[in-house]
Structure 1
Amino acid sequence: MSFKGLKPILYGGREVWPLVEGGKGVAVSNHASSGAWAAAGGIGTVSAVNADSYDPDGKIVPQIYDGLTRKERHEQLVQFGIRGGVEQVQRAHEIAGGKGAININVLWEMGGAQQILEGVLERTQGLVTGVTCGAGMPYKLSEIAARFNVHYLPIISSARAFRALWKRAYHKVADLMAAVVYEDPWLAGGHNGLSNAEDPRQPQDPYPRVKALRDTMRAEGIADSVPIVMAGGVWFLRDWNDWIDNPELGQIVFQFGTRPLLTQESPIPLAWKDHLRTLEPGDVLLHRFSPTGFYSSAVRNPFLRNLEARSERQIPYSKVEAGEHTARLDVGVGNKNYWVAPADLERARAWVAAGFKEGLRTPDDTIIFVSEDERAVIQKDQKDCMGCLSHCGFSAWKDHDDYTTGYLADPRSFCIQKTLQEIAHGGPIDQNLMFAGHAAFNFKTDPFYSNNFTPTVKQLIDRILTGD
């Protein structure tokens, strides 16, 4: 018997539990985790963001970019993305064995998103039930879904964003919209859809936001049987007791992104799994360092602390002596003429004396100070850019038109593709970005995980269905 009589829903022509595995990009939500989630009767999600592919011996093919230009490397990235996405879907489908459902997840802001999504769907017809897509405003999602006859599930963080998508595009393909994913911008892991009107330090209660989304959907004539998927911060179903069978909200489905990280089928390295068991409340930071320009949530490890420190060693400058910029900067920038406030000149000299000898300009008319080693890494990573985003603040790449954002590359950010590939494939967990949702501290206190217990996906779903 499931918690509070939680009932299966009809999705893609079969009954499934209203439990969705959250898609986690770059080789994390892969065939093993999503196939097992579907086999247990839920909706598994294969990430089609930099997915792994395999050689004839079943070993992961390293994604090596030897193209001479960024555009050539970007083309390689798209081909890797299609091949990996297809292989992951095929393997997940086999594991699922006709149970549950398999979705794929793409970020609209990834480089070549449309090409990769179309390439994967073309080669996996009949295997994919739906496409979840967020990170940006994916207006074309419904049109692509219609072309391949799959369901689509837009990921949004406010009723306003959904209404804009619906009015512009989705109303034309209403029949294939299987659900709307509300991803809480304060609680979800990975990239978050906080708008400029919202305060990252002031989380809002998701209930009124989801009710506003349902009200918007009803006003547009969308039936209550089209579920809203609650994503971000979901751990125990008992915490959501008053959401289930609630006429104000209509049909609710729950997405679990962080909990599936710690399962036997989860492909992340053991060191990452072990670290999840040590997290305390507040150890996941909502930050602005991502080269996407979005807020995102990740474990506040030395990698993230280093980015925080880098941004703290920052001063504004002007190219002419003006206003409070009356002191010529005489450290970190060679013979170039930059003018700063006298107090900032003293700070810059202190940073240089502490070993942060290199001044690097940012797009915001500021200069940050880094060590020589750090400068070398930043410049190499910027040079090696393979165009993994549609717009990258770190390298100033854009995946269309003239292939540049027109802005100065931002040294306060980092190469996201490099660090996510590294951590997913065994790189040091303290020197790479480690995405996690804000409820990850529960691993330490939830008795289900005591004595280092790591459940199978089936055991996890059985546990979730009890309310715990």
Structure 2
Amino acid sequence: MKAINAVRFGTLELLPLVEGGKGISATNHRSSGAWAASGGIGTVSAVNADSYDADGQPIPQIYHAKTRAGRHEELVAYAIEGAVQQVKRAFDMASEELRAGRGALNINVLWEMGGAQRVLEGVLERTKGLVHGVTCGAGMPYRLSDIAARHGVYYYPIISSARAFRALWKRAYARAAEWMGAVVYEDPWLAGGHNGLSNAEDPRVPQDPYPRVAELRGVMRESGISDDVPIVMAGGVWYLREWEHWIDNPELGAIAFQFGTRPLLTRESPIPDVWKAKLTHLEEGDILLHRFSPTGFYSSAVRNPFLKELEARSGRQIAFSTEEAGDHRFALDVGVPRGKRYFVTRDDLNRARGWAGEGFTEALKTPDNTLIFVTPDKRDEIRRDQADCMGCLSHCQFSAWKDHGDHSTGRLADPRSFCIQKTLQDIAHGADPDANLMFAGHSAHRFATDPFYSNGFVPTVRQLVDRLLTGD
């Protein structure tokens, strides 16, 4: 195994090990502070992070406003206060190393989260001198470089293709080239959480990341960016020995590695013990690349009962017409709200009757002129969650919210999706992992076979970093 040498991130020489920032509250001050203290970049999630009361207990994010716009303002306030507290606590944990330049703290934001720019500005304004950089993906964050430069911090755009980086560079980043800390290449087939697959890429056919990263480096060189600016490989990274041919490779330039899944199973990881226990029993193939997220992006998560219900919900789906047309000439007689008439094909009528006989008696319209069939309880849950929307995304397919203008996407709310804020808050704070969205990278099954975790061993962050440096 080649030696793992420090690389330059902005003005700092650090270990090429970056903690993936996992919101909501799956990465916090304890994990990121410990990572920074170990010599790498710790990443505080600034996606609706927890604030604490005088006793150090997380403050529940409860919304009181009667309107979505009002609740959105509460959400932005929670997000700024929570991220500020997390950054300050993380800095205090690793202050000696951070002041000596032996580690760094980044914050992570999703560009498509509701009020992203306001949250980012608010956090950076109140954490001057504490934050090294901002890692940002989930969309095309054109304004990231301007915001980072104005606050004197580095920016780390998350991209999944050279094409995306070229667009960002030409439109905005070239104006603030000196503040680029690194470029994070997040493999859209292997990374956990939201993934950057384009319409031109087949979700069922993963591509080798090496040529894609080599192409990215080529675009960076064409743009005049030094090979000393690292590319951070994210997604599918478990053992560094499996990436040895990437290290000190002149074709790729400076390379670092981001770890999102492995830090979940550390003593400092804030996720509940019941979630940690689930990670150790996963098998290969248990992570599903799916498109149920209300963001509209693909995302990767454990295929637990929560995801299986979403799969089944979309499976109970038929097309309809409000008038007799072609094969759609049979009046639907199950699940139809009072005063409505839907026409379907004969086969779909029989399917709908069969689902109704199994208890899925309620038909809900989707934006695509289809109906899905759910139980009365699930219908009530969907409607309640849509009504309680607090605007956590810039555009939400599930609730049809957008965070600007008239606050409406102009499309019908989509019952095939779910409230992502609700489920991520719930799982992070002790709710049943089987009943909630459990993000994870596609290598998560390796917890069960990696000897490092045998006999139920859970390492500290320091022990994990030391292990990574051996190549394992």
TM-score when scaled to structure 1? 0.99
1:103 match: secondary structure = strand
- The correspondence for 2:96, drawn from 98, 112, 130, is 98
Selected match of 1:358 from 354, 362, 367: 362
1:222 corresponds in structure 2 to 225
Residue 12 of structure 1 contacts residue 101 of structure 1 at CA under 8 Å; is this kept in 2?
A: no
Q: Unaligned 5+ residue runs, structure 2?
A: 98-102
* Distance apart, 1:97 and its partner CA: 2.3
- For the pair 1:83 / 2:81, whether they are aligned, the reply is yes
C-alpha change, 1:144 and 1:177, in structure 2 (3 Å) is same
**Within 1, Cα distance between the matches of 2:57 and 2:23?**
19
1:13-43 CA deviation, whole Å, 9 max, x = no partner?
3331000000101111100000000001110
Which residue is 2:44 aligned to? Answer: 46
* TM superposition shift of 1:57: 1.2
Specify the alignment match of 1:316 in structure 2. Answer: 319
Which of 322, 334, 347 aligns to 1:343? It is: 347
| Matched-pair contact (CA < 8 Å) for 1:363–1:410 | yes
1:201 maps to amino acid: R
Q: Partner amino acid for 1:384?
A: D
Partner residue of 1:389 out of 379, 390, 393:
393
One-letter identity of the residue aligned with 1:237 = L
The question of 1:72 aligning with 2:70 is answered yes
Q: How does 1:258-277 map to 2 (within 5 A)?
A: 258-277=261-280
CA distance in 1, matches of 2:42, 2:96: 12
User: What's the offset of the Cα at 1:374?
Assistant: 0.2
State whether residues 214 and 252 of structure 2, in contact with CA within 8 Å, keep that contact through their aligned partners in structure 1: yes
Partners of 1:250 and 1:231 lie apart in 2 by: 16
Instruction: Name the TM-score, length of structure 2 as normaliser.
Output: 0.98
Distance in 2 between residues matched to 1:346 and 1:66, nearest whole Å: 45
Could you tell me which of 54, 57, 82 is aligned with 1:56? 54
- CA RMSD, 1 decimal: 0.7
Query: After TM superposition, where is structure 1 displaced by more than 4 Å over at least 4 residues in a row?
Result: none
- Residue 6 of structure 2: which of 8, 22, 26 is its match? 8
Tell me which of 297, 301, 305 is aligned to 2:304.
301
Report the equivalent of 2:100: none
Aligned pair partner of 1:185 in 179, 184, 188 = 188
What is the SS of the residue equivalent to 1:430? helix
Partner of 2:134: 131
1:52, 1:412 → 2: CA distance? 29
2:150 to 138, 147, 150: 147
- For 1:26 and 1:138, the matched residues in 2 are separated by 20
Give CA-to-partner distance per residue, 1:285-331, whole Å, 9 cap, x none.
00000000000000000000000000000000111111221111111
* Preserved CA contact (<8 Å) 2:9 2:230: no
How far 1:273 sits from its partner (Å)?
Answer: 0.3
CA distance in 2, matches of 1:12, 1:165: 19
Aligned residues: 466
Query: What is the CA deviation profile of residues 407-429 of structure 1, one whole-angstrom value per residue up to 9, with x for unaligned ones?
Result: 00000000000000000000011
Question: Which of 361, 366, 371 is equivalent to 1:367?
Answer: 371
2 CA distance for matches of 1:15 and 1:152? 16
- Return the offset for 1:98: 3.3
Is the 8 Å Cα contact of residues 303 and 430 (structure 1) preserved in structure 2?
A: yes
Match of 2:292 in 1: 289
Q: Is the 8 A contact 2:10 2:180 kept in 1?
A: no
For 1:32 and 1:5, locate their aligned partners in 2 and report how far apart those are by CA, in whole Å: 28
